[in-house]
Amino acid sequence: MAKKDVQKSIRMTNEVSKFVEGFEGTGFNEKFENLVFFCMKEEKNIKTRIKALEKQEDTINKRVDTKWKLLNELGEIQQKIVQVNNSVVGLYEKCKKAEVVAKGVQGALPTYDDAENVIQTSGSKSSPAKESGLQKKRKAV
């Protein structure tokens, strides 16, 4: 061990004195010196640990940024889905209105059956070729 050239008198609280006395060593001076060496060693370990944690923090921050970007993209996709859904609902409503209009128009126009009834009630007889054509149309409908 090195020669101890420095002499100091220190004052401390009872709490600090008890802490020093609880450290390894044979006398107060050796215990105090061991405590200081321990703190010096641990300071290096703590600084190394801080650097490692800072790197880990950077990695985590990058991952968080990536997740935020993905979340924003998902929000944009959700908005587009809502827009498409609204368009589909609008088209559905227009189709329903068009169906109602078509039913109204359909009731006003003569149908194939109406035309056949007119032909039969007028007493005119169709030719066999026409009848077979009408029968084909009826089967198709």
Looking at residue 108, its pLDDT comes to 62
pLDDT grade, residue 123 (50/70/90)? low
pLDDT grade, residue 9 (50/70/90)? confident
What CA–CA distance (Å, rounded) separates 73 from 88? 23
The fraction of the chain above a pLDDT of 70, given in percent, is: 73
CB 10 within 8 A of CB 28: no
Looking at residue 107, its pLDDT comes to 62
CB atoms within 10 A of CB 35: 16
Phi-psi region of 124 (alpha: psi -120 to 50; beta: other; left: phi over 0): beta
Domain ranges for the chain: 14-121
How confident is the model over 36-88, as pLDDT tens digits? Answer: 999 999 999 999 999 999 999 999 999 999 999 999 999 999 999 999 999 99
Main-chain dihedrals φ then ψ at residue 124, nearest 5 degrees: -80, 145
Burial class of residue 72 in the structure, from the number of CB atoms within 10 Å of its CB (0-12 exposed, 13-18 middle, 19+ buried): exposed
Lookup: tokens for 88: 């589909």
